[in-house]
Amino acid sequence: MNSIQNYILEHKNRFLDELIELLKIPSISADSAYKTDVLKTADAVKLRLEQAGCDNVEICETDGYPIVYGQKIIDKNLPTVLVYGHYDVQPPDPINLWDSPPFEPVIKKTEKHPDGAIFARGACDDKGQMYMHVKAMEFMTSTNQLPCNVKFMIEGEEEVGSANLATFVKNNHNKLKNDVILISDTGMIANDVPSITTGLRGLSYVEVEVTGPNRDLHSGLYGGAVANPINILTKMIASLHDEDNHITIPGFYDNVEDLSTEERAQMAKAPFSLENYKKALDINAVYGETGYTTNERNAIRPTLDVNGIWGGYTGEGAKTVIASKAYAKISMRLVPNQDWENITQLFKTHFESIAPQGVTVKVTPHHGGQGYVTPIDSIGYKAASHAYQDTFGKAPIPQRSGGSIPIVALFEQELKSKTILMGFGLDSDAIHSPNEHFGVWNYLKGIETIPLFYKYFTEFSK
C-alpha cells in the first residue's frame, strides 16, 4: 500500500493549506463572543467531509453547538468504523505568551519537529488530528481503497464538557451503530516511540467549604479559643493521605483493578528517564504512592489532589484575622471500575465525618466521568498495532494515560463498542497552552497510518 505515501507526497501542500485554513477560524466554544466562528467551522468541516467522499453529510443541531455527521456505507456486511473528533478549541489565553498569533498559523522548525510544526490554537487538539481522518478518508475514497463502512461524528463542545453530545448519542444508537470507534485526541511517547493510549482515568471533582465562627474574628481576641476554619481544613485535607500516600477514604480502593504483571511489564518498556523528568520540572525528587513507579502513579493508580485552596487574608502584608470560612477544590483521578458518582459519595460522607466540632462542612460535587480501558487483545487494538508496525517500523507501546476523556466511557455504555485512541501528538505540543503546535511529520504520518487501521480491522473482523 505504497500508494498512500505517493498520494501524500503529491497532495502534501494542499493537506497543509486546508488545515491552516481551518485553524484560522477561532472556534472557541467557551466564549460566546466567537459563536459565529464556531458555527462557521462546523460548515467548513461539513464541506471537507463531502469533498472527502462522505454521503449524507449534515449539521446536526443540539442545544449547544452542532455536531457534524457524515458517512460512507459501502456494504452492510462489512464492519463500520465510527470516527470521533472535535472542531472547537481552547481559549488562547494567556495571549501574551504566544510567539505568533494563535489564529494565524505559521510553520516553524523545532528540536522535536525538524520537518517543521504548525503553530496555532487547535493545531494538535483537535483540528489537526481530526483532519488527518478526513484526509485519510479522501485518499481511501478517491483511490477506491475504502475497505469498510465509515461514520464521522465531529462535535463542537469537547472543550466545554461535551454537554450535548451525550444526548445526541443516546438518541441516535442506530445512526451511530459501529464496530469500533476511532479517536485521535491523545498523544504518543515520541516520533520514534509510537504508543497507543489503552487507558484513561476517571474523575471526581468536588469543592469543600469549612465554616467556623459566623464572622471574621480578631486573631488576638479569639485566637486559640475557637476552631480556625483554615487550620481545620488543612488538618482534614492532610488526613486524606497516609504515610504511604494511600488515600484514606474508606472504600476508595474497593474496585481498583490490579494490573496484570504482563501489562505492567509492557508499560515499563516505555522509555523513561527519571532524571530528565525531575529536571524538566525542577524538582529534587518525585513523590507519590509507595510501591509504584512514576508512570504507574499517574496512569494506573487513583489520586487525590487539591487543585485550589483559599481563605482569610491573602493580600499584601499582614492581617490578624481568623476567617469565618475556608475553601478548597479537590479532584480525584480514578481508574477503570471506580464509579465516579460512588467515589464522590464516599468522599462526601468521609469528609463530613472527619469534621471536628466547632465547624460545619459543605461538600459540593462539581462534575466527573468514568475511567476507561481497551484490552490490548481486542481486534481494534491489534489492527492499530499492525498499522503502526507498518508505518513506524515498530510495534506501538500500550500506554495508560493519566488524563480523562469521559465521552469514551459514554460511547462504550451507549454504543457497546470499544474505542481505539490513535494519537499522533506529543506531550511537548503544548495543547491547552500558549504556542500549541502539531508536527508536520506527525500530521502526515497519521494520514498514512489511518488507512492501514481500516485495512487490518476489516481483515481481522472476517
Residue 108 or 367: which CB sits closer to its own copies? 367
Residue 78 or 309: which CB sits closer to its own copies? 309
Looking at residues 114 to 133 of the shown chain, list those that interact with its own copies (rule: CB under 8 A). none
Q: Is the dihedral of CA 111, 114, 119, 125 positive or negative?
A: negative
Tracing cell 478517491 back to the chain, one arrives at 142
Torsion of CA 308, 313, 317, 321, to 10 degrees: -140
Looking at residues 411 to 450 of the shown chain, list those that interact with its own copies (rule: CB under 8 A). 427, 432
At 402, which amino acid appears?
G
Provide, rounded to whole angstroms, the least separation between the CB of residue 295 and its own copies. Answer: 8
Looking at residues 337 to 396 of the shown chain, list those that interact with its own copies (rule: CB under 8 A). 356-359, 366-367
Provide, rounded to whole angstroms, the least separation between the CB of residue 309 and its own copies. Answer: 5
Residue 271 or 393: which CB sits closer to its own copies? 271
Structure-block grid coordinates of residue 32: 460566546
Q: How far apart are the C-alpha atoms of 384 and 375, rounded to whole Å?
A: 12
Residue 47 or 283: which CB sits closer to its own copies? 283
Q: How far is CA 329 from CA 127, 296, 301, 305, 343, in A?
A: 31, 24, 20, 9, 16
Looking at residues 151 to 190 of the shown chain, list those that interact with its own copies (rule: CB under 8 A). none
Residue 85 or 369: which CB sits closer to its own copies? 369
Residue 186 or 385: which CB sits closer to its own copies? 186
Residue 82 or 227: which CB sits closer to its own copies? 227
Our CA angle for 240, 260, 287, nearest 5°, is 35
Looking at residues 216 to 275 of the shown chain, list those that interact with its own copies (rule: CB under 8 A). 217-228, 230-231, 233-235, 237-239, 241
Other beta carbons within 10 angstroms of residue 260's beta carbon come to 9
Judged by CB under 8 A, how many residues of this single chain contact its own copies? 81
Looking at residues 16 to 75 of the shown chain, list those that interact with its own copies (rule: CB under 8 A). none
Under rule CB under 8 A, residue 397 binds its own copies: no
Provide, rounded to whole angstroms, the least separation between the CB of residue 452 and its own copies. Answer: 28
Site string (288-307) toward its own copies, x via CB under 8 A: xx----xx-xx--xxx-xxx
Per-residue burial over 90-123, b = 16 or more CB atoms within 10 Å of its CB, e = otherwise: bbbeeeeebeeebbebebeebebbeebbbbbbbb
In which element (H, E) is residue 257 found? none
